[in-house]
Structure 1
Amino acid sequence: MPGAGDLKYFKKLGRSLPSLGMGTWGIGGGYWSPDTSGDAEWVSALRRGLELGMTLIDTAEMYGGGHSEEVVGEAVKGFDRDEVFIVSKVWPTHARRDDVVKAAEASVRRLGTFMDLYLIHWPPAEVPLCETMRGLEEVVRRGLARFIGVSNFGLELIEEARACLSREDVAAVENKFSLLDRRDESSVVPYAEREGMLYLAYTPLEKGQLARDSFLAEVGRKYGKTAAQVALNWLIKLNPVVPIPKASSLAHVEENAGAMGWRLSDEDWRAISKRFSELKA
């Protein structure tokens, strides 16, 4: 498990989580399309990540048509369930109240365990947001998940979602955030920190683009780290951000884990920020 220096406390969750998690997009298949060919490798990679302290795993019903959740369920077997934090997401085509609950029940069956956090994957287009949020509250009431949140929501929509709730609150937001996509840096990220929410950053390495960046590699040489590890550590240094890089192979998982256990100096963090401030993904 990660050391105290690599844990972040979240008031809305009432607990600490590791500063780095694991994403599973592409694990178990693609867009609503199951693929079992890599199951053994994927399970092995996720289990290694758990051993290295990345005990937060993010998945979704859409990933592989639910097979990603089955892979995650297999990977967490044998680990202390209280030490593992599982996040899953409901697709907006299941955004009606009863459909949210049915989708959550199906996710729990595939995972073989409850969800710690359940998110609406994208803002619903065909259903009133309040209906979806009431469905998420029902998911918690039935013990299918401990906490609820939103994904791909801007600040205004987050506040709208919170206003819909009577028993629960939005405990987390998951948005795309990286050195090349910093739209949330001055809005959603400080809002989440102020409100005690978890902020999950997906696609933190921009599908490998940042792992190949020469400037980040140069900074990394000072620390004995790779460009990818530097890019992830830049995010880790921000509260309440927890990056969730893809955990598709043992090599990637082990490299990602090397982003924990150290911190960029303030000077290097600012230099990286300045370097990428004008760049777009």
Structure 2
Amino acid sequence: MPLSKDTKYIKSINGKVSVIGMGTWGMGGGFWSPDYSNDEGWVKALRRGIELGMTLIDTAEMYGGGHAEELVGKAIKGFPREELFIVTKVWPNHARYDDVIRSARASRERLGTYIDLYLLHWPATDVPICETMKAFEKLIDDGVVRFVGLSNFDVEGIERARQCFSKYDIVAVENRYSLLHRVDEASVIPYVQRNGMLYLAYTPLEKGEFARNEFLGSIGRKYGKTAIQVVLNWYVGIDNLVPIPKAGKVEHVEENAGAMGWRLSKEDWDAISTHFRRV
């Protein structure tokens, strides 16, 4: 069942979720390694995004060894908590029951608030999925997290995880998806839509690849929008899907926010879809 979506919000698992979110990979450091060199700029960018209505923020314990979560915690101060939707993830080396509990509580501490959506970042090859999911249920019971999901999973893996639950269920999946990386259109996205879940699309802008695309630029000129705003608006047209572009600079955040509040025509949406199937 498609989730109800207008031009700025999806009526979803928490009441509403912004149709475009903000990703934080590379902010505050890299793979388990913190970087404090631009904390003020990163926090400023996140706060600007929230002001502009991008209230879903995606982070992970691995990003900067938790420092990205600390930056998110600073950025959200002063905003109404009930209007935000904070997503973070546990790395598969912490997929054991006790490790999941510790990781989630540490993430909550760094964020300074409860977690709206907690995801297993990647499948853990050495830990039974039900062990991790049982820990997820405990975290919901304890009020550490509100909802749980999976990242980088295929349909088979999602179904195995869902079979583990006694009281709750997976409500969201976060996978790589873009106009240049459309593998999930064959299975995961239809599965998510049929089951009323949320699909979070990471790397939707392919690290700036679309900014220089003349085809997208030509369509954007019809609407007074940039190529980036056009591609983000194309994602908004997909049921249950929320793109989460990186929010590292204020000017990029402002450009991303300009993709909300309007819609491509069906003709232009279809033309973009067809064009990039041939790329």
* Cα distance per residue 1:144-181 (max 9 Å; x no partner): 10000000011111111101111110010000011001
| 81 and 14 in structure 1: CA distance in 2 versus 1, 3 angstrom threshold | closer
- The number of residues matched between the two structures is 275
- Segments of structure 2 that go 5 or more residues without pairing to the other structure are none
Per mean C-alpha deviation after superposition, the further-off stretch among 82-91 and 194-203 is: 194-203
Residue identity matched to 1:260: M
CA distance in 2: counterparts of 1:211 and 1:167, whole angstroms: 44
Q: Does 1:97 align with 2:97?
A: yes
* Cα distance per residue 1:29-68 (max 9 Å; x no partner): 0010000111000000000000000000000000000000
- Give the aligned partner of residue 223 of structure 2: 223
Deviation at 1:137, TM superposition (A): 1.2
Deviation at 1:4, TM superposition (A): 5.2
Verify the 8 A CA contact 2:8 2:53 in the aligned structure 1.
no
- Give the aligned partner of residue 30 of structure 1: 30
CA distance in 2: counterparts of 1:189 and 1:104, whole angstroms: 27
* Cα distance per residue 1:192-245 (max 9 Å; x no partner): 122111110000000110122111111111111111111111111001000000
Q: Output aligned runs, 1:267-278, within 5 Å.
A: 267-278=267-278
CA distance in 2: counterparts of 1:143 and 1:203, whole angstroms: 30
CA distance in 2: counterparts of 1:242 and 1:195, whole angstroms: 16
CA distance in 2: counterparts of 1:210 and 1:184, whole angstroms: 19
**SS of corresponding position for 1:124:** coil
Per mean C-alpha deviation after superposition, the further-off stretch among 205-214 and 65-74 is: 205-214
Deviation at 1:270, TM superposition (A): 0.7
Q: Output aligned runs, 1:72-87, within 5 Å.
A: 72-87=72-87
Per mean C-alpha deviation after superposition, the further-off stretch among 127-136 and 77-86 is: 127-136
Runs of 4 or more, structure 1, over 4 Å off, are none
Percent identity, aligned pairs only, is 62
Residue identity matched to 1:32: W
**SS of corresponding position for 2:186:** coil
CA distance in 1: counterparts of 2:100 and 2:278, whole angstroms: 40
TM-score, L = length of structure 1: 0.96
Q: Does 1:153 align with 2:153?
A: yes
Residue identity matched to 2:88: S
Q: Does 1:5 align with 2:12?
A: no
Q: Does 1:43 align with 2:43?
A: yes
Residue identity matched to 1:5: T
CA distance in 2: counterparts of 1:41 and 1:54, whole angstroms: 17
TM-score, L = length of structure 2: 0.96
| 234 and 106 in structure 1: CA distance in 2 versus 1, 3 angstrom threshold | same
Per mean C-alpha deviation after superposition, the further-off stretch among 61-70 and 187-196 is: 187-196
Residue identity matched to 1:7: Y
CA distance in 1: counterparts of 2:206 and 2:198, whole angstroms: 21
CA distance in 2: counterparts of 1:252 and 1:190, whole angstroms: 30
Deviation at 1:134, TM superposition (A): 1.0
**SS of corresponding position for 2:172:** strand
CA distance in 1: counterparts of 2:58 and 2:166, whole angstroms: 26
**SS of corresponding position for 1:5:** coil
* Cα distance per residue 1:81-113 (max 9 Å; x no partner): 000100000000000011000000100010010
CA distance in 2: counterparts of 1:26 and 1:62, whole angstroms: 10
Q: Output aligned runs, 1:1-281, within 5 Å.
A: 5-10=7-12, 13-279=13-279
CA distance in 2: counterparts of 1:186 and 1:258, whole angstroms: 29
CA distance in 2: counterparts of 1:120 and 1:136, whole angstroms: 9
- Segments of structure 1 that go 5 or more residues without pairing to the other structure are none
Deviation at 1:5, TM superposition (A): 3.2
